Amino acid sequence: MKERKIEIPLKVYAYEELSDADRQLVDKAKEMTNHSYAPYSHFSVGAAVLLSNGETICGSNQENAAYPSGLCAERTTLFFANSQYPDVAVTTIAIAARNESGEFVEQPVSPCGACRQVMLESQWRGGRPLRILLYGNECTYELDRVEDLLPLCFTAENME
Task: Decide: 22 and 29 in contact? Cβ < 8 Å.
Answer: no
Rounded distance between C-alpha atoms, residue 157 and residue 115, angstroms:
19
Give the confidence band of 155 by pLDDT, cuts at 50, 70, 90. confident
pLDDT band at 151 (very low <50, low <70, confident <90, very high): confident
Asked if the model's pLDDT at residue 158 lies above 90, the reply is no
Residues serving a catalytic function are 74
What is the percentage of the chain residues whose pLDDT exceeds 70? 100
Helix ranges (DSSP H) in the chain: 20-32, 73-84, 113-126, 146-149
Number of domains the chain is built from: 1
List pLDDT tens digits, range 14-71.
999 999 999 999 999 999 999 999 999 999 999 999 999 999 999 999 999 998 889 9
- State which residues form the domain around 127: 11-152
Question: Is 118 part of any domain?
Answer: yes
Name 115's Cβ contacts closer than 8 Å, sequence gap at least 6: 72, 74, 75
Give the mean model confidence (pLDDT) for residues 142-158: 88
Q: What is the CATH number of the domain that holds 40?
A: 3.40.140.10
Q: In the prediction, which pLDDT does 119 show? A: 97
Q: Is residue 137 part of a domain?
A: yes
Residue 2 lies in a domain: no
157 found inside a domain: no
**How high is the mean pLDDT of the chain?**
95
pTM, whole model, 2 decimals?
0.94
Question: Would residue 4 count as lying in a domain?
Answer: no
Residue 160 domain flag? no
What's residue 156's pLDDT?
Answer: 75
Is residue 1 domain-resident?
no
Given this model, what pLDDT does residue 40 score? 94
